[in-house]
Chain A
């Protein structure tokens, strides 16, 4: 059974750096074809893909946010961490992590999602 859970700050100030942790179980990020991604959703709006970390160390980012995003994994404790620098009120959103079934390259499937973590950016 695959489960994922996000954790991190709920309130941030502009210009700060967001660090979110995704703790997962039910799979290993050392196994071929496994990945963990991040997706966010501003209140009342649609979903936006941010980044994916792959079992083989590869990482992919949304080009629109690439300069601000970093995704890392710690396979020893089954966690993936997302950092987003220079936070702004427009970054206020629920941030989800999700298991990625990877076929090849960027191609795959988000088949299990965490509950999400709401982050509000306000001065």
Chain B
């Protein structure tokens, strides 16, 4: 199985400041189609996960441009340029390339 390890476990951010979350994969999630199928989700308190980023760096429809994804091979990063109060919740990375599909353990973001 592809194991995704997220760091940090939690993050407390001042509004307007940047935030960064790491996701490291136990093996490459670069698929034979030439794409890296690594996604990011935000689960706000009491809600279901919502897709933010797919294929490492593509923002899903309606996602603000303060969210960006980067990385390759086994190391990936989600960045928020200026954190807003509505960005609180748990962020998960997920690999969509190999069975079983797997998620990272999550990073909880709150506001200072």
Decide: A46 near B97, CB < 8 A? Known: A109-B39, A109-B54. no
How big is chain A's contact interface, by range?
20 to 34
Give min CB distance, A27 to chain B, whole Å. 15
Q: Chain B interface mostly helix, strand, loop or mixed?
A: loop
Q: Max chain A CB contacts within 10 Å: which of B47, B48, B51, B94?
A: B48
Q: Hey, which chain B residues are within 8 Å of A114, CB to CB? A: 48
Q: Does A110 contact B (CB under 8 A)?
A: yes
State whether B33 touches A49 (Cβ < 8 A). Answer: no
Choose among B31, B96, B105 the residue that contacts A46 (Cβ–Cβ < 8 A): B105
Task: Say whether A47 contacts B33, CB under 8 Å.
Answer: no
Interface size on B (CB < 8 Å)? Answer: 24
The answer to whether A107 touches B37, judged by C-beta atoms less than 8 angstroms apart, is yes
Across the interface, which residues of A come within 8 angstroms of B60, CB to CB?
A: 111
Residues 88-112 of chain B, each 1 if its beta carbon lies under 8 Å from chain A, else 0:
0000101011111111111000000
**CB–CB A49/B49 < 8 A:** no
Binding site of A, secondary structure by majority: helix, strand, loop or mixed? Answer: strand
Contacts of A62 in B (CB 8 A): 99-101
Q: Mark A16-50, 1 if CB is under 8 A from B, else 0.
A: 00000000000000000000000000000011110
Q: Is B50 an interface residue (CB 8 A)?
A: yes
Interface presence of A63 (CB below 8 A): yes
| Smallest CB separation, A106 vs chain B (Å) | 5
Set of chain B residues within 8 Å of A115, measured between Cβ atoms: 47-48
Interface residue ranges, B against A (CB under 8 Å): 31, 33, 37, 39, 47-51, 54, 60, 92, 94, 96-106
Q: List 29 A-B contacts (CB under 8 A).
A: A46-B103, A46-B104, A46-B106, A47-B49, A47-B92, A47-B106, A48-B103, A49-B100, A62-B99, A63-B100, A96-B48, A104-B33, A106-B97, A106-B98, A106-B99, A106-B101, A107-B31, A107-B37, A108-B96, A109-B39, A109-B54, A109-B96, A110-B39, A110-B51, A111-B51, A111-B54, A113-B49, A113-B50, A115-B48
